[in-house]
Chain A
Amino acid sequence: MLLKYAKRVWDSSSSTWVEIAIVHMTPEHAQYWDAVIQPAIRTIGNQERREGKKPSRADHNWHWTRIRVLLPLAQSLIKRRCRALTILLRRDRIWQEPWEAGPPKPEDEPKAIPAAMVLLIESYPWLLPTARKRQSTFTWFMAAAPKKVLQGLGVFATPSLGSILLDTALITSMALGYRGRMWLHANRRGGQRLFDYYSKKCNLLNVSDGFPLPSGSLSDGRHFYATSKIAKQLVNGLKQNRTL
């Protein structure tokens, strides 16, 4: 049976299920992200710089409109397909622009706010060497909006979406017939925090420094992967998230 993408997420802060919608990313989502979410991410990074640290978020300089538009186009030149997905959260009827003072505005209808974005390469050579050439899904770009920004935009329930982002990559791999084989690179800018997130929180496996990659280059030790077995475990762990 074909598994579906998640439809809800458990929000531990409010102890409730929060409805989400995973949709194909439109240029409008990317444009909204660049206009509203990305400046806030940059502000966080700049604040860290002022404190003498490096920006901790890997997506500090990302430009989602370019990622959404140019990268799938580039991959199509070498006959590869990308999948861009947006996780939307619901904003209630009453909200307030974060930069505007005054009373909150009433809205005609609830709006869908982009809360996380992911770009995958649907079919990419599998990381591990095998007798027969195998394909897998490569998770290329992944970002979740800071909770404070979403709350400022009027989204009151802001659950963590990291596991859902990873789940979309695994489900995509399964739907395409790659049995959940997926791999990714933890951007160096993300530092130890991102490394630990993938290895400890997501339970992904890590290849050692100098491991030969399918492209011919060597790994810097920050490549992570999910085998079919791990993918199955991770996907089964989110079974409840697939129903409303």
Chain B
Amino acid sequence: MKYAVSLDDGSEREGHRTPAEEVTLEMLSRRVWALAQMDPTTVADILGGDEGIPLPDVSPSNLAPEKLLRPWDSVVRASPEALTDRQYKKFLQGEDISSEAIIESDMARTYAAAKNLEISSGIISVLVLLGLLVAFSIVKSPASKEAALIGGALVLAFTVVWRLFQSAMRYVVPRRSLETVITELTVLKARAKEDAVIQRAQAEQLKSLEVEVTRVRAEAAEARAEAAHLRARRTS
């Protein structure tokens, strides 16, 4: 969720900021800069004091408190590890980073495991080659030398092919998953936009219904008053 006072550089928005927006942004940046210069204890004293310092309102939305709560089952626990730069930027922008943090740390772990596997497989191939080389130098029979040469060449060829295959996979697999992630993100973004439009429409509908209800209530009150008046006239 983005804040009422946007923190973007304006590249995503069409047109220019209104003067009021510019004043708010300028005030925000001046205040934030002043807070940055202060000792944390002073900041806490100021924010906790009775007078405080005038700060712009940064409430993210006008949703009812109940709508801000998430289902317990969807909660993702935070890891104490440091956030990546990208995650931290998102955190500053007010976005929920919990699930992403988990995915990224999982990816980092998988990457580390793959790297370890790669290193050990490299060591094994070098050892095999060394073994063959030693055998080649020790054995004196030309027939065995020939066999060792063919064997060595085969192992070397297999290692080269295997490495090429691994490199290809390293490029293709993340690319594919990246494409999937990008597609999913686009769909999610579109859905979020749709939801926002629907919510706005519903809010407008609700507002017009409220207006209607007020009007009907007023009319009913008028009718009641009229009826009471008529009844009073009839009795008199």
Contact = CB atoms under 8 A, between A and B. Distances in A.
Interface of A: 2-5, 7, 21-24, 26-29, 31-32, 34-36, 58-63, 65-67, 69-78, 81, 84-85, 88, 90-91, 97, 109-113, 121-122, 124, 138, 140-141, 168, 171-172, 174-176, 185, 187-189, 213, 215, 217
Contacts of B88: 81
Interface size grouping (class) on chain B: 35 or more
For B1, B74, B92, which residue has the most chain A Cβ atoms within 10 angstroms? B92
B27 to A, nearest CB: 12
Interface string B52-65: 10010011110101
Given A24-B97, A62-B48, A65-B59, A138 B40 contact: yes
A122 B83 CA distance: 11
Nearest to B64: A35
B103 to A, nearest CB: 14
B72 A111 contact: yes
Contacts of B74: 112
A74 B36 contact: yes
Interface of B: 1, 3, 7, 28, 31-33, 35-36, 39-41, 43-45, 47-50, 52, 55, 58-61, 63, 65-66, 68-83, 88, 91-92, 94-98, 101
Contacts of B1: 26-28
18 contacts: A4-B79, A22-B77, A24-B91, A24-B97, A26-B1, A27-B58, A28-B68, A59-B48, A62-B47, A66-B58, A72-B92, A74-B32, A77-B36, A88-B72, A109-B72, A112-B71, A140-B43, A175-B80
Contacts, number: 161
B36 A75 contact: yes
A35 B65 contact: yes
Complex A-B, nearest 6 residue pairs according to Cβ-Cβ distance, in ascending order: A175-B80, A74-B35, A74-B36, A110-B72, A27-B60, A77-B36
B82 A26 contact: no
A140 B40 contact: yes
Given A31-B61, A72-B91, A76-B92, A111 B78 contact: no
Nearest to B31: A70
Secondary structure at the A interface, as helix, strand, loop or mixed, is: mixed
A23 B80 contact: no
Nearest to B39: A215
A78 B33 CA distance: 9
A108 to B, nearest CB: 8
B59 A31 contact: yes
Nearest to B3: A69
B208 to A, nearest CB: 26
Contacts of A168: 80
Contact of A121 (B40, B80, B94): B40
A70 B50 contact: no
Nearest to A21: B75
A125 B227 CA distance: 79
A26 B96 contact: yes
A203 to B, nearest CB: 21
Contacts of B28: 70
